[in-house]
Amino acid sequence: MTSGPIVVTGATGHVGRPLVSLLIDAGVQVRAITRDPAGTGLPSAAEVTDSVEEALHGASAVFLNSRALGADLEAVIDQAGDGGSVTRLVALSAGNADDDPERQPSRFRGDRNKEVEQLAVDSGLPWVSLRPAVFASTSADLWSAQLRAGDVVSGPFAGASFAPIVDSDISAVAAKALLGDDLIGQRIPLTGPQVFTVAEQVAVIGDVLGRPLRYQEVDPALVRDRLVAAGVSVQFADAYIALQAAAVEQPVVVTGDVEAILGRPATPFAHWVDAHREFFSN
């Protein structure tokens, strides 16, 4: 158990918000970092701030979200390792961190999964790197608008397969990494309990909602153009198409790390959909 406050960067994100609550429930002091400290909806026991530099003073551990830290990532890790009170770093990386960057669309939205892991490893501090698969919440990011409008999701490569992990399961593993020593020095691949093609994921959402949903495969070039027209960068659109294409050919392996670490099975995708129906319905 750590002795000082734990700093959580990206505290209002899909992983950070549940993590803050889990740490507070465990009885530790939490310094939650967010760009807008007002009205975050975080637990009242959390110390909410927009200053990472101030939050690091006297802190015992840091959860590193590279997108949230942006250009400050290197400086924050340098400060944490500069002979202070910090005794561990837990980095949020990704299962595809070692892949070709051109197949990592999240890089073009600010995720530096490979860098945050390597900086933590090189910091001189005890470290853990979490390498989750595609988040369950990504299905809402990609498909919620279409499913609010009708019963068809159109996209590339119906056979692209993934093992989506429920975001709060990542948070629960992060809490274990921050509070105990068992995971120190590990790069931990985290997946959900089942592999789905994207067409099967849409069918699961339909089963939960009681709707006849289906996935319609369309020309990847049309999807690319649609993404760009919606405002995403060309680089993101190209990387998204490349990732989906690769996921048709590359076998997906379900890992048992979530269950081994948490002592319970990973949360099924259908359970996440049921808990977040509002993402897919008007």
What ranges do the domains of the chain cover? 6-132+167-190+254-264
CATH superfamily to which 6-132+167-190+254-264 belongs: NAD(P)-binding Rossmann-like Domain (3.40.50.720)
Which range (152-156, 177-181, 222-226, 248-252) has the least confidence? 248-252
Average pLDDT for the chain = 95
Over 70: is that where the pLDDT of 131 sits? yes
| pLDDT band per the 50, 70, 90 thresholds, residue 40 | confident
Compute the average pLDDT of residues 219-228: 96
> pLDDT at position 244, please?
97
Query: What tens digit of pLDDT does each residue of 255-273 get?
Result: 999 999 999 999 999 999 9
Across 62-80, average pLDDT: 96
- Burial (0-12, 13-18, 19+ Cβ within 10 Å), 266: buried
Model pLDDT, residue 23: 98
pTM of the model: 0.96
